[in-house]
């Protein structure tokens, strides 16, 4: 795993990291990882340096000066150029980023003023526009040319040195309001933007572990499912798996294990814990592929989530929607893995949202499927082992103070897979 957190090159990130270092120190000193603040608010800002382009120069030459509307702030640079910084009040980052800024920008010429306020930035890869209030109406007032990096998983948007120009009615309005000889068409400044949308650990309610930072994962996506010829589809083929006995014991002893969205934690009647394993309800496909069972294929799509909550030690892992693939050497278990792990050095807990990966390999090479129960086929006790991506996804060796066995190829609990062979 190479989290993007520390490669996010913006002053905002630096500031955030410092703030979290401080927070982390407090948390570590306090001896508990389970904070109570909950959500992390939208952070970051837009920095517009005005007076830089040809049109910007012309504005300065005509006596235009740039001011900030509070709470935005202004820094005067040389030759009339001015830097206006406005923090983000609200941000939604999906495929497109929408950022509402606090404060605004005023262009001033003598006593004449042209105000850009109520600014909302909309950004999508190569297209960034700024809306604002003109004559009481919300309209496009500026555009920013240049690349915009929108990361919907991390909830971040970044623009570096975008060319900032007035747009639409704002051009004419600026000319009229400021009594300019020429309309301010073209680049009048440059914009840097670095914003992260508000977020909250999605399992805060269940696990009680907040997230200080959010980082997009970088693991390779699960390889595509095999296409089964003449497949028999059926409902009600539960996937039951224990994941790993020692992990269940560790988590259940210190934290807790929770089943969500239909996934069930199977508890021993007595004395328990640890729980015996988990059941995910599912639909399945099975293909016999002619005579003999060695080349039989099955795909079982499970649903629901199992939460390994260990707030007292500063981490949680959530495995969701497992898909079991029986397909010779490609037999495997795919799952969404979502983690929040605290760096024991800094106290920063970093949430990496779900990544759907090939989590564990299933070794069916020595398993002969059983067909004793009519209409069903069972692969009993299939050995499983962590894939490299699976090992990285868990992040169990990141904070673990002891020697860590959760590495590529680590043996996990065997799995017994039963699939219906008739619809
Ligand atoms: C992000 C932080 C941490 C991670 C990822 C982590 C991970 C792990 C892992 C993978 C194991 C072995 C589980 C197994 O037997 O399969 C383990 C065991 C253990 N950890 Fe942690 N740990 C973390 C923090 C801590 C902290 C802060 C403490 C102490 C305050 C702690 C105390 C222990 C103990 C005592 C065991 C042995 C449990 C047993 O064998 O029953 N861990 N941890």
Answer yes or no: is the C-beta of 401 below 6 A from any ligand 1 atom: yes
Answer yes or no: is the C-beta of 313 below 6 A from any ligand 1 atom: yes
pLDDT at 375 over 80: yes
402 CA distance to ligand 1 middle (Å) = 7
Q: What is the pLDDT of residues 212-266, one digit of tens each?
A: 999 999 999 999 999 999 999 999 999 999 999 999 999 999 999 999 999 999 9
Mean predicted lDDT score pLDDT of the chain: 90
157-190 in b/e burial notation, b at 16+ Cβ within 10 A? bbbeebbbbbbeebbebbbeebebeeebbebbbb
Longest Cα–Cα distance of the chain, Å, equals: 92
Which residue's CA is the closest to the ligand 1 atom numbered 2? 399
Return the DSSP state at 370. Answer: B
pLDDT at 15 over 60: no
142, 166 in Cβ contact below 8 A? yes
* Lowest mean pLDDT, pick from 194-198, 245-249, 269-273, 300-304: 269-273
242 CA distance to ligand 1 middle (Å) = 18
pLDDT value, residue 136: 85
More confident position, 136 or 274: 136
Whole-angstrom distance, CA of residue 81 vs CA of residue 78: 6
Which residue's CA is the closest to the ligand 1 atom numbered 18? 250
20-48 in b/e burial notation, b at 16+ Cβ within 10 A? beebbeebbeeeebbbeeeebebbbbbbb
Whole-angstrom distance, CA of residue 273 vs CA of residue 396: 21
pLDDT class of 403 with cuts at 50, 70, 90: confident
- Which bin fits 79, alpha (ψ -120 to 50), beta or left (φ > 0)? left
Answer yes or no: is the C-beta of 346 below 6 A from any ligand 1 atom: no
279, 300 in Cβ contact below 8 A? no
> Encoding tokens for residue 109?
């010429």
387 CA distance to ligand 1 middle (Å) = 21
Answer yes or no: is the C-beta of 403 below 6 A from any ligand 1 atom: no
> Encoding tokens for residue 303?
């649903």
155, 16 in Cβ contact below 8 A? no
Answer yes or no: is the C-beta of 314 below 6 A from any ligand 1 atom: yes
Which residue's CA is the closest to the ligand 1 atom numbered 41? 250
* Lowest mean pLDDT, pick from 139-148, 179-188, 302-311, 394-403: 394-403
Answer yes or no: is the C-beta of 299 below 6 A from any ligand 1 atom: no
Q: Answer whether the bond into residue 119 is a cis peptide, omega within 30°.
A: no
pLDDT above 90: percentage of residues in the chain: 83
96-122 average pLDDT score: 97
Return the DSSP state at 128. Answer: E
Residue 341 Cα: closest atom of ligand 1: 1
More confident position, 272 or 11: 272
pLDDT above 70: percentage of residues in the chain: 90
315 CA distance to ligand 1 middle (Å) = 10
pLDDT class of 342 with cuts at 50, 70, 90: very high
pLDDT at 362 over 70: yes
Q: Answer whether the bond into residue 273 is a cis peptide, omega within 30°.
A: yes
pLDDT value, residue 25: 36
203 CA distance to ligand 1 middle (Å) = 20
């Amino acid at each position: 795993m190479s989290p993007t957190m520390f490669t996010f090159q913006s002053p905002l990130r630096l500031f955030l990291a410092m703030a979290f270092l401080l927070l982390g120190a407090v948390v570590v000193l306090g001896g508990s990882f389970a904070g109570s603040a909950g959500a992390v608010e939208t952070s970051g800002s837009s920095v517009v340096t005005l007076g830089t382009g040809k049109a910007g120069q012309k504005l300065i030459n005509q006596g235009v000066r740039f001011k900030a509307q509070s709470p935005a702030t202004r820094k005067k640079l040389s030759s009339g150029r001015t830097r206006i910084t406005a923090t983000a009040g609200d941000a939604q980052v999906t495929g497109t980023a929408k950022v509402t800024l606090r404060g605004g920008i005023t262009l001033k010429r003598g006593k004449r003023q042209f105000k850009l306020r109520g600014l909302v930035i909309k950004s999508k890869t190569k297209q960034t526009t700024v809306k604002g209030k003109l004559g009481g109406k919300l309209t496009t007032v500026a555009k920013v040319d240049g690349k915009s990096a929108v990361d919907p998983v991390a909830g971040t948007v970044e623009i570096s040195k975008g060319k900032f120009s007035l747009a639409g009615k704002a051009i004419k309005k600026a000319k009229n309001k400021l009594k300019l000889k020429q309309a301010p068409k073209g680049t009048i400044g440059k914009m840097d933007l670095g914003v992260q949308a508000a977020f909250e650990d999605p399992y805060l309610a269940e696990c009680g572990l907040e997230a200080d930072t959010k980082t997009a994962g970088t693991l390779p996506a699960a390889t595509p499912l095999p296409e089964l010829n003449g497949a028999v589809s059926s409902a009600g083929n539960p996937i039951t798996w224990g994941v790993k006995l020692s992990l269940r014991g560790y988590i259940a002893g210190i934290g807790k294990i929770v089943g969500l969205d239909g996934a069930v934690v199977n508890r021993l009647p007595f004395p328990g814990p640890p729980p015996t394993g988990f059941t995910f309800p599912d639909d399945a496909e099975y293909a016999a592929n002619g005579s003999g069972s060695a080349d039989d294929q099955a795909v079982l799509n499970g649903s629901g989530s199992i939460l390994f909550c260990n707030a007292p030690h500063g981490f949680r892992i959530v495995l969701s929607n497992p898909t079991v693939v029986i397909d010779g050497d490609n037999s495997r278990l795919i799952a969404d893995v979502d983690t929040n792990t605290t760096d024991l050095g800094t106290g920063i807990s970093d949430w990496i949202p779900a990544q759907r990966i090939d989590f564990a390999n299933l070794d069916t090479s020595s398993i002969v499927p059983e067909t004793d129960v009519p209409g069903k086929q069972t692969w009993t006790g299939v050995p499983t082992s962590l894939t490299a991506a699976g090992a990285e996804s868990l992040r169990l060796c990141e904070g673990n103070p002891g020697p860590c066995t959760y590495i590529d190829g680590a043996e996990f609990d065997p799995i017994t897979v039963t699939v219906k062979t008739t619809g």
